[in-house]
Amino acid sequence: MALPACAARALGPPLQPEHRAPARTTCPRRHSRVEAELAASQPGSVAASVRAGPPRGVSHGFNSRPLRDEPIKASFSLAGALSAPLFALLPRGCRRRMNDLRRRWDLGSLCRALLTRGLAALGHSLKHVLSAIFSKIFGPLASVGNMDEKSNKLLLALVMFFLFAVIVLQYVCPGTECQLLRLQAFSSPVPDPYRSEDESSARFVPRYNFSRGDLLRKVDFDIKGDDLIVFLHIQKTGGTTFGRHLVRNIQLEQPCECRVGQKKCTCHRPGKRETWLFSRFSTGWSCGLHADWTELTSCVPAMVDGKRDARLRPSRNFHYITILRDPVSRYLSEWRHVQRGATWKASLHVCDGRPPTSEELPSCYTGDDWSGCPLKEFMDCPYNLANNRQVRMLSDLTLVGCYNLSVMPEKQRNKVLLESAKSNLKHMAFFGLTEFQRKTQYLFEKTFNMNFISPFTQYNTTRASSVEINEDIQKRIEGLNFLDMELYSYAKDLFLQRYQFMRQKEHQEARRKRQEQRKFLKGRFLQTHFQSQSQSQNPGQNQSQNPNPNANQNVTQNLIQNLTQNSSQSLSQKENRSNRKQNAGQEQNDSNSSSGASDYIGSVEKWR
């Protein structure tokens, strides 16, 4: 059988026959291929066992017996002689040669041999190409041609890995759509301390001008005194989560006692049987379900001190706090909550000492609840309290006649409500935004000097975010809540300016503390320098005149007094020279030296 030239080169020289075996190159053609296959298919034949042999890739071990140079025992019966395979009757050398040919012409071995030779040839070619390139670029520094076999294998592995990575990258990111290939993906931007949790624009442009008093919010809240924190909880603004933080996640000398299975917690002042927090989870809905600004300002003082005599009531400070949310998200969240059966029928809506009548505040549904209502029906109701709810709950309704719409025109009523809500929000002790949880936590801690145990978590995926609306519906919701949109824009601007102002103030205080610390260290250095200098000048006199341990301090004080006298003399000289207007350059140097000495002396006297 003739082999192709490429296959012969890939397979190498033929295997040499064993010792004492005839060196034949071809097998005698005594039997056809059909007879050999028929002999190998018989289960009890020797050829079948020889053909089966060990598994491919497994060498002969003690569990498998190789073909021996022993004569095959003939069968004693006629049936055995007739059923003996024709392959077993071949000469021993021919059988071995046929097995060698079968193993050499195995397809897997041939592919492996071709792949190995091909990769070796490819690596050899790449080595010469790279050596030529490096020799032209680096000249005598390139020594790729003298690379040993190990470096060749390493180079081949790197080339194959690069090709594999290119194939995978083209499969994952076809064309130019892959953003990973851009240079900005490999850059590491510096984290912005003012970056919002919702990944919006980090640097905002202020729209409103606020004074320092509006931006600086630092309440002197004494939990052991008589002050009270009042939480105004607006529906679907994340107030439930924030209320739980107030009673369960705040560091206090006497933490709130929260029992399992109960919504309300007992939040008493240290050493007193009196609460410091007026909220849903501490006192319950004492002034009605989701009481607004108008209800709380008239209800809370009477609720807390109503049983006491007016002359015995303490002078309390009521610190109002609240949480706001994006109007569109809040509106959709309330619609989904109403769909599930929420009604808030227990809300009192007390204004001017009475609740509204059915004519002043009609209902949008006739049954027990409004469950299952579509969004269009929810938006079509003109008496829906979800419209501009945040402005209504933060404004003083007594200014517009409560819920009586006939007191003033609608345009004037809306203007008064919006201005009242903005004023109340600005003068509140604290307010936060649902979209900025970490900043809300930071501002509350800086305002009340109270720290939370664990940080707030920003949940960007809510029930409102799962509602898919088109642009027309969104514009209609913004139109129904145009007052809330104006109030939220105002609140967001004030909130972010307060956050930035507090951060800058914090950085300034840290810088001032570092400067004071450096001055203190310089003063200590001067003090030790003076002590060592005085001891070196008069060692015997110090020991004889100052037997007490405070001798060094007396010497230091004398030196400081001398320095102060010298500094005062230099200051007087400075004034005289400035009056005479002579020697301007020398005057500047003397003033700098005198001021520096006075700073050091002042720091020493301060930190002593």
List, by residue number, the catalytic residues. 290
Gap between the Cα atoms of 561 and 357, Å rounded: 82
Q: Where does residue 326 rank: exposed (0-12), middle (13-18), buried (19+ CB within 10 A)?
A: buried
The identity of residue 19, as a single letter, is H
CA torsion sign, 238 to 244 to 246 to 251?
Answer: negative
Angle at 585 between CA 583 and CA 588, to 5 degrees: 110
SS3 524: helix
Contact 344, 234 (CB under 8 A): no
- Nearest in space to 245 (alpha carbons), one of 89, 96, 98, 453: 453
Gap between the Cα atoms of 36 and 48, Å rounded: 10
User: φ and ψ at 493, to 5 degrees?
Assistant: -65, -45
Gap between the Cα atoms of 466 and 455, Å rounded: 25
Gap between the Cα atoms of 400 and 408, Å rounded: 7
Gap between the Cα atoms of 138 and 145, Å rounded: 13
Angle at 146 between CA 140 and CA 150, to 5 degrees: 135
Residue whose entry in the numeric block shows the structure tokens 């059923």: 83
Gap between the Cα atoms of 212 and 210, Å rounded: 7
Gap between the Cα atoms of 335 and 463, Å rounded: 10
Residue whose entry in the numeric block shows the structure tokens 């053609």: 29
Residue 218 is encoded by which pair of tokens?
């630092």
CA torsion sign, 296 to 301 to 306 to 307?
Answer: positive
Residue whose entry in the numeric block shows the structure tokens 């404004």: 395
Gap between the Cα atoms of 516 and 329, Å rounded: 48
The identity of residue 146, as a single letter, is N
CA 209 to centroid of chain Cα atoms? 32
How many other C-beta atoms lie within 10 A of the C-beta of residue 66?
11
Give strand pairing partners of 322.
232, 431
